[in-house]
Amino acid sequence: MAQYARMKDRHKDAILFFRMGDFYETFDDDARLVSRVLGITLTARNSGTGGAEKTPLAGVPYHAVEKYIAELVGSGYKVAVCEQVEDPKKARGVVKRDVVEVVTPGTTMLAQTLDPGENNYMVALAFDEDAYGMAFLDLSTGEFRVSELGEDDLLSELSRLDPAEAIVSYDRAEQAEALLEPRFSDIAISRLEEWAFDYDQAHQALLDHFEVLTLKGFGCDEMTAGVCAAGSMLVYLRDTQKNRLAHLKTMARHDVADAMLMDSATQRNLELITSLRDGGREGTLLSVMDRTYTPMGARFMRQAITRPLVSTEAVLARQEAVGELHEEHGARDEFAGLLKSMGDLERLAARVGSERANARDLIALKAALHVIPVIKEKLSGLKAGFSAGLRDGLQELRPLAEKLERALVDDPPLSLTEGGLIRAGYNEDLDDLRVISSGGKRWIAELQLKERERTGIQSLKVDYNRVFGYYIEVTKPNLHRLEGEYIRKQTMRNAERFITPELKEYEEKILGAEEKIGELEYALFLELREEVAASLGEIQGNARAIAQLDFLTALAELAVQNDYVAPEIVDGPVLEIDDGRHPVVEQLLQGEAFVPNDTQLDNRTKQIALITGPNMAGKSTYLRQVGLIVLMAQIGSFVPARSAKIGIVDRIFTRVGASDNLARGESTFLVEMNETANILNNATPNSLVLLDEIGRGTSTFDGLSIAWAVTEYLHNTPERAAKTLFATHYHELIELASSRDRIANYNVAIREQDDQIVFLRKVMPGGSDRSYGIQVARMAGLPRSVVERARVILADLEDEDLSSDGVDGADGRGGVDGADGAGGVGAAGGADGADGADGPAGSGGLHGQGGASGGPHGQRGPGTPRHGKPTAESPEYQLSLFLPADHPVVEDIKELDLDLMTPVEAMNALYRLQQKAADPDPDGA
């Protein structure tokens, strides 16, 4: 146990699998954890201290260890594998053991833990004053990139990468956990000593690994934080992988500005990779677009969807290649057949470079190499420049493929040490040993026949076991027939076993030959694997080219099957889609045609489209549809439309749906406001903004005020004037189109029939002034009594309030653009009024503090109901988001020390603030 204790002390953060004969054993707390997670029996053994104390023990058989390690790693644990590093037969004393690998969620190469269609990324984060350094790596493919970026971009990239593990320094662990854990609950956070993130140490680690004198060739020599992150990654890998990193051939600079930016909310809301419904793949854009035939092609498709291009030239180059394959039906079918036989060339190369490849891996590699020349020849028949680039990037490696063909049998065993790997005729010494082995076995068979004839004992047999070697077995009734030349070796109940000097002599020849065969085959295999490793760069280049060809072929097949068209790609700020369709929804419809819709947006005449209409009418689907069509166009795909003209978009923003984030202590409304703030702070004139309701998580007036102000801001702020689709239930917003030259109203058409509505799913010009909420509630199955009561209440509200304070009212009761600040949105003050000081009832501009009615950004006076005329009987106790900066409540909030307050104290303070906000004279004047 002393040897175990030393190993465990070096790997305290991992479960230690300790090889003992045919089992891997775990002890103490590791054993308890393994027993619980894997559901295996927990036993005990003497602790070895001389007392009666027992040590908990749980073990797994060596031949099934990968399955158990995969299960533990999949549950987020690390496993340190401690092997016997010498032959137990030759050991003097305790067998030497050492940890040969630490398997972690981010470093695993086990097939059971890897999804063929997904990358398994790990990231290293270095914290600088001005930026985050981030390196990300997929050890299973060899992709290694480095970047420096701000916090918002970091979170967006992490959402895109979905890493399994993050590496941080001990002194930054709390900061990293606060940043990552609320947003990425499944990520494993590993800690390294601070010295690993030191620039000089990290820089030298990179120089040593890549065997270079400078990092200029990687384009990251000026990235201080990035170099710290990348170097620490190598330190971590050296410790866990024991330097088996030959497939990490290069490192690339990663700039977020080289692709369309999408924050985590946009990636989630557009359902690119995971479904909002259950987090699965069904119902996502990836599920529709992924028609690839190879695992590396599937991974490339996933990367392309989450990282669309922003270079017009790059988009058009891909589109040209897709278009040619779209037209060349024969070539497309030929490529499909060839790609199916490729296997996962990228991960095969990584297994070779990490010294994990077995003979079956090399057989799969050989099959792929045989297909490469055929694919290269077929590519020569295509004219697109992108296809020509792929052809030129393919390396045939015929000599290597031929050597693998000569060396390995067609169906080798998984084990590398028990023989049966190498084909006859490949190595002369091996052939000689096989002759000896097979000849010896023939001699054994002849000996058995000869002895039966000589003794007359037909049941006599010559057999073998590992304990006694070869022996002659005779049943007890026949023992009297034997003569003295047999030497008794073992007595059993019904028979006895014997040996002869002649038998032992041949045994040594046979067993010696078989042992040498196993050793020689293993040595020959290692030589072969090293020769393959020498061509890793070319093999990885082939894998990248094949992945892209697979991706292009899939896009062409998708376009043919789903009747997509090639969009016109331009640099200008234009978005024109004729008869656009939602690529996912149209595939999910059963026996129903999807209703197509048009979209026309630009930065000159139609920058913002306000879309009104009832729930369930299709507004959200339409918004997502436009976003997905733009995204598809910028990965080089054809799109679901009759025609499309799309100007390159630098970012897509979405504010769609509503959910809270309890892990981060954020309410639904705060999540909504965070997403909206991100849009207003980062949108550009080349962005596309998709807003599906704003302000639903607060009061009607606050929500309407925010929605109004956001729309104005996007329209009036030149540097944020993004093309925008805004779906809303605030019908008051349609008035904006009459005073803002780049805002247009649209509605989703419905047909009313006997107090019921039929959704037509068609987006039409013009605004809608009804939400049809009660009809939708009835369709959803609300009890009839509730629906009827709602009708009565709605009628009362409309008669009492909207007649006096409607949108078109006058004299301070409704006019959105009321003169001198009079009127307002829903009788809450004129939206375009002056920013003057307090005035009489109804006065007060957008930012002024109104009197009895107030403005959208002012405080309503006492006795003002949510809708309608001021009444003393209708006090309003809602705390507005837009209190003046010098309001006493604001001052009280500033003075609160939230860090020192208990929850009860905080609640009491909130009650006091609410009462003070409702007081018409909070200062007691």
Residues 54 and 134 occupy one common structural domain:
no
In a domain, residue 841? The reply is: no
Choose among 540, 569, 635: nearest CA to 290. 635
d(CA 422, CA 428) in angstroms, rounded, equals 11
Residues 311 and 217 occupy one common structural domain:
no
pLDDT at 146 over 80: yes
In a domain, residue 814? The reply is: no
The dihedral through the CA atoms of 507, 510, 514, 515 has a sign that is: positive
Q: Given 258, 290, 321, which residue is the final one in a domain?
A: 258
Number of structural domains found in the chain: 6
Residues 130 and 12 occupy one common structural domain:
no
Residues 519 and 530 occupy one common structural domain:
no
d(CA 775, CA 327) in angstroms, rounded, equals 49
Q: For 233-251, what is each residue's pLDDT tens digit? A: 999 999 999 878 999 999 9
Residues 537 and 507 occupy one common structural domain:
no
- Asked whether the beta carbons of 270 and 649 are under 8 A apart, the reply is no
More confident residue, 108 or 849: 108
In a domain, residue 808? The reply is: no
Q: What is the pLDDT of residue 832?
A: 38
Strand 132-138 and strand 122-127: the pairing is antiparallel
Q: What is the pLDDT of residue 697?
A: 75
Residues 692 and 773 occupy one common structural domain:
yes
Q: Given 562, 584, 616, which residue is the final one in a domain?
A: 562
In a domain, residue 556? The reply is: yes
Strand 252-253 and strand 143-149: the pairing is parallel
In a domain, residue 868? The reply is: no
- Asked whether the beta carbons of 113 and 220 are under 8 A apart, the reply is no
Mean pLDDT lowest for which of 206-215, 573-582, 685-694, 860-869? Answer: 860-869
Question: In this structure, what DSSP letter does residue 800 have?
Answer: I
Q: How confident is the prediction for the chain on average, in pLDDT?
A: 86
- The pair of three-digit structure tokens given for residue 884, joined into one six-digit string: 């003046």
Mean pLDDT lowest for which of 293-302, 346-355, 373-382, 655-664? Answer: 655-664
> For the chain, what's the residue count?
925
Residue for token pair 């956070």 = 189
- Per-residue pLDDT, averaged over 462-490, amounts to 89
Q: How far, in Å, are 73, 310, 587, 905 from residue 291 at the CA level?
A: 30, 24, 14, 58
Confidence of residue 671 (pLDDT cuts 50, 70, 90): confident
Q: What is the pLDDT of residue 885?
A: 54
Q: For 250-290, what is each residue's pLDDT tens digit? A: 999 999 999 999 999 999 999 999 998 888 899 999 999 99
Q: What is the pLDDT of residue 355?
A: 94
- The pair of three-digit structure tokens given for residue 553, joined into one six-digit string: 């072929």
pLDDT at 55 over 50: yes
Residues 98 and 181 occupy one common structural domain:
no
Question: In this structure, what DSSP letter does residue 276 have?
Answer: T
DSSP secondary structure string for all residues of 280-303: SSTTSHHHHH---SSHHHHHHHHH
Residue for token pair 């894997």 = 38
Mean pLDDT lowest for which of 40-54, 220-234, 549-563? Answer: 40-54
d(CA 397, CA 775) in angstroms, rounded, equals 68
pLDDT at 89 over 80: no
- Considering all CA atoms of the chain, what is the largest pairwise distance in Å, rounded to the nearest integer? 131
- Per-residue pLDDT, averaged over 739-746, amounts to 94
Mean pLDDT lowest for which of 196-210, 326-340, 490-504, 847-861? Answer: 847-861
Within its chain, how far is the Cα of 303 from the centroid? 10
d(CA 705, CA 711) in angstroms, rounded, equals 10
pLDDT at 81 over 50: yes
d(CA 249, CA 541) in angstroms, rounded, equals 11
Choose among 850, 876, 854: nearest CA to 864. 876
- Which residues on neighbouring strands pair with residue 146, listed in sequence order? 135, 253
- Per-residue pLDDT, averaged over 44-50, amounts to 67
pLDDT at 493 over 60: yes
Instruction: Count the alpha carbons within 13 Å of 362 in the hemisphere toward its beta carbon.
Output: 35
Q: Is 870 helix (H, G, I), strand (E, B) or coil?
A: coil
Within its chain, how far is the Cα of 79 from the centroid? 23
- The pair of three-digit structure tokens given for residue 282, joined into one six-digit string: 């069904």
Choose among 220, 177, 169: nearest CA to 195. 169
Residues 557 and 579 occupy one common structural domain:
no
In a domain, residue 577? The reply is: yes
Residues 248 and 293 occupy one common structural domain:
no
The share of the chain scoring above pLDDT 70, in percent, equals 86
- E strands, 78-119, in order: 79-84, 97-103
pLDDT at 757 over 90: no
DSSP secondary structure string for all residues of 396-460: --HHHHHHHHHHB-SS--S-SSSS--BPTTS-HHHHHHHHHHHHHHHHHHHHHHHHHHHH--TT-
Q: How far, in Å, are 108, 145, 304, 307, 629 from residue 300 at the CA level?
A: 20, 15, 6, 10, 19
d(CA 860, CA 854) in angstroms, rounded, equals 5
Residues 475 and 614 occupy one common structural domain:
no
- Per-residue pLDDT, averaged over 591-607, amounts to 93
Q: What is the pLDDT of residue 834?
A: 35
Strand 643-647 and strand 574-580: the pairing is antiparallel
Q: Given 562, 584, 615, which residue is the final one in a domain?
A: 562
Confidence of residue 902 (pLDDT cuts 50, 70, 90): low
Q: What is the pLDDT of residue 809?
A: 36
d(CA 215, CA 554) in angstroms, rounded, equals 37
Residues 296 and 367 occupy one common structural domain:
yes
Within its chain, how far is the Cα of 170 from the centroid? 26
Q: For 198-212, what is each residue's pLDDT tens digit? A: 999 999 999 999 999
Structural domain containing residue 33 = 1-103
Q: What is the pLDDT of residue 327?
A: 96
Supply the CATH number for residue 322's domain: 1.10.1420.10
Q: How far, in Å, are 368, 392, 395, 442 from residue 373 at the CA level?
A: 10, 11, 8, 45
Q: What is the pLDDT of residue 510?
A: 83
Residues 510 and 540 occupy one common structural domain:
no
- Per-residue pLDDT, averaged over 341-362, amounts to 95
- Per-residue pLDDT, averaged over 429-445, amounts to 87
In a domain, residue 491? The reply is: yes
d(CA 826, CA 866) in angstroms, rounded, equals 9
d(CA 309, CA 634) in angstroms, rounded, equals 5
Q: In what order do the strands lie in the sheet with 252-253?
A: 188-192, 165-169, 122-127, 132-138, 143-149, 252-253
In a domain, residue 324? The reply is: yes
Question: pTM of the full predicted structure?
Answer: 0.82
| SS3 annotation, 875-925 | CCCCCCCCCCCCCHHHHHHHHCCHHHCCHHHHHHHHHHHHHHHHCCCCCCC
Q: For 866-895, what is each residue's pLDDT tens digit? A: 333 333 344 444 444 444 556 677 777 777
Q: What is the pLDDT of residue 699?
A: 77
